[in-house]
Amino acid sequence: MTATETKTTTTNGRTDGANGVHQIGRSVPRIDALDKVTGRAQYTADLHLPGTCYGAFLRSPHAHARVVSIDTSEAERMPGVVAVISAASIARDLAIVVEEEMHAARRVLSLFPNVGGKVTYHGQKIAAVAAATKELAEEACERIKVEYEVLPPVIDVREAVKEGAPLVHDETKPVDGLDHGPFAAPTLFNIAGQNHRNEGDVDAGFREADRIFEDTYVIPRAHQTYIEPQSTVADVARDGSVTVWTSTQGHFAVRSNLANSLRIPLSKINVIGMTIGGGFGAKFGGIVDTYCVLLAQKARRPVKIIYTREEEFLDAKPAPGAVITVKTGVKEDGTITARQAWALWDTGVGSGGCYATNRVKGVYKIEHFKVDAYDVHTNKPAPGAYRAPGAPQATFAGETQLNRICAAMGWDPVEFRLKNMREGDQIAFKETLQAVADRAGWAKRQSKTGPNEGWGVAVGEWTNGAGPASAVVSVHEDGKVHVFYGLMDLTGTDTAMAQIAAEVLGVRYEDVTVSRGDTNSAPFGTASGGSVVTFSFGNAVKRAAEDAKKRLLELAADHLEVAVEDLELANGRVSVKGNDESLVTVAQLGQMALRSKGGPIVGHGSFASEPSATTTAAQIVKVSFDPDTGQVRLRKLYGSLDVGKALNPMACEGQMEGGLVQGFAWGLMEQMRYAEDGRNWNPGLLDYRVPTTLDFPDIESVMVEMPTKNGPFGVKGIGEPPIAPGVACLVSAVADATGVWINEVPLTPERVLHAIKANGKK
Amino acid sequence: MRQLIELNVNGEVYPIDVEGRTRLLDALRDKCLLTGAKEGCSTGDCGACTVLLDSMPVTSCLVLAASAVGKQITTIEGVAKGEALHPVQRAFMDLGGLQCGICTPGMIMTSIALLEENPNATRDEIRYGLQGNLCRCTGYDKIVDAVQAAAHEMDGRRRGTPRVETGGNPAMAGPLQADTTGGRSPGAR
Ligand code: FES
Ligand code: FES
My answer on whether B151 and B98 are in the same domain is yes
My answer on whether B51 and B119 are in the same domain is no
Would the pLDDT of A531 be above 50? yes
My answer on whether A66 and A108 are in the same domain is yes
Q: Which residues of B154-185 are buried (b: 16+ CB within 10 A; e: fewer)?
A: beeeeeeeeeeebbbbebbeeeeeeebbbbbb
Q: Cβ(B142)–Cβ(B135) under 8 Å?
A: no
* Ligand 1 geometric centre to CA of B59 (Å): 6
Q: In Å, how far is B34's CA from the nearest CA of chain A?
A: 9
d(CA B91, CA A479): 29
Domain boundary among A306, A334, A355: A306
Per-residue pLDDT, averaged over A442-453, amounts to 95
Task: Decide if B187 is inside a domain.
Answer: no
* Ligand 2 geometric centre to CA of A617 (Å): 22
Task: Decide if B121 is inside a domain.
Answer: yes
Measured from the alpha carbon of residue B38, the closest ligand is 1
Query: For a pLDDT cut of 70, what percent of chain A falls above it?
Result: 96
Could you tell me which of A621, A618, A617 has the C-alpha nearest to residue A736?
Answer: A621
Closest chain A residue to B140 measured between Cα atoms? A693
Q: Is the shortest distance between the CB of A227 and ligand 2 below 6 Å?
A: yes
How far is CA B12 from each of CA A46, B6, B32, B79, rounded to the nearest angstrom? 20, 10, 10, 13
- What pLDDT, on the 0 to 100 scale, is given for residue B179? 32
Q: Cβ(A233)–Cβ(B185) under 8 Å?
A: no
Q: What ipTM did this prediction achieve?
A: 0.95
Split at pLDDT 50, 70, 90, the class of A98 is low
Measured from the alpha carbon of residue B29, the closest ligand is 1
My answer on whether B106 and B47 are in the same domain is no
Q: Cβ(A678)–Cβ(A741) under 8 Å?
A: no
pLDDT per residue over B9-60, tens digit each?
A: 999 999 999 999 999 999 999 999 999 999 999 999 999 999 999 999 999 9
- What pLDDT, on the 0 to 100 scale, is given for residue B176? 32
pLDDT per residue over A688-700, tens digit each?
A: 999 999 999 999 9
My answer on whether A359 and A333 are in the same domain is yes
My answer on whether B98 and B56 are in the same domain is no
User: Given A74, A423, A720, A744, which residue is catalytic?
Assistant: A720
Answer whether A692 sits within 8 Å of B169, measured CB to CB: no
- What pLDDT, on the 0 to 100 scale, is given for residue A532? 86
CATH number at residue B151: 1.10.150.120
Closest ligand 1 atom to residue B41 Cα is 4
Closest ligand 2 atom to residue B137 Cα is 2
Closest ligand 2 atom to residue B107 Cα is 4
Q: What is the 3-state secondary structure (H, E, C) of A100-159?
A: HHHHHCHHHHCCCCCCCCEECCCCCEEEEEEECCHHHHHHHHHCCEEEEEECCCCCCHHH
Q: Which of A11, A277, A651 sits opposite B167 (nearest CB)?
A: A11
Write the residue with the smallest CA distance to atom 3 of ligand 2: B135
Q: How many domains does chain A have?
A: 3
Answer whether A662 sits within 8 Å of B136, measured CB to CB: yes
Residues of A with Cβ-Cβ distance to B104 under 8 angstroms: 36-37
Q: Is the shortest distance between the CB of B146 and ligand 2 below 6 Å?
A: no
Query: For a pLDDT cut of 90, what percent of chain B falls above it?
Result: 79
Task: Decide if A159 is inside a domain.
Answer: no
Residues of A with Cβ-Cβ distance to B75 under 8 angstroms: 39
Per-residue pLDDT, averaged over B94-101, amounts to 98
CATH number at residue A283: 3.90.1170.50
Q: pLDDT: is A86 or A614 the higher one? A: A86
Q: pLDDT: is A440 or A93 the higher one? A: A440
- Per the annotation, the verdict on A159 as an active-site residue is no
My answer on whether B67 and B95 are in the same domain is no
Answer whether A510 sits within 8 Å of B169, measured CB to CB: yes
- What pLDDT, on the 0 to 100 scale, is given for residue A14? 35
Residues of B with Cβ-Cβ distance to A494 under 8 angstroms: 182
Task: Decide if B106 is inside a domain.
Answer: yes
Using DSSP's 3-state secondary structure scheme, residue A619 falls into strand
My answer on whether B147 and B98 are in the same domain is yes
pLDDT per residue over A240-284, tens digit each?
A: 999 999 999 999 999 999 999 998 999 999 999 999 999 999 999
Q: Name the strand (E) or helix (H) holding B110.
A: helix B104-117
Split at pLDDT 50, 70, 90, the class of B161 is low
Q: Which of B79, B93, B132 sits opposite A34 (nearest CB)?
A: B93
Name the pairing type of β-strands A303-306 and A53-59. Answer: parallel
Query: For a pLDDT cut of 90, what percent of chain A falls above it?
Result: 89
- What pLDDT, on the 0 to 100 scale, is given for residue A107? 81
My answer on whether B10 and B74 are in the same domain is yes
Q: Fill in the DSSP letter of residue B37.
A: S
- What pLDDT, on the 0 to 100 scale, is given for residue A100? 62
Q: Is the shortest distance between the CB of A694 and ligand 2 below 6 Å?
A: no
**What is the separation, in whole angstroms, between the first and last Cα of chain B?**
32
Answer whether B167 sits within 8 Å of A492, measured CB to CB: no
> Residue A112: which domain range?
45-151+230-306
Task: Decide if A190 is inside a domain.
Answer: no
My answer on whether A436 and A473 are in the same domain is no
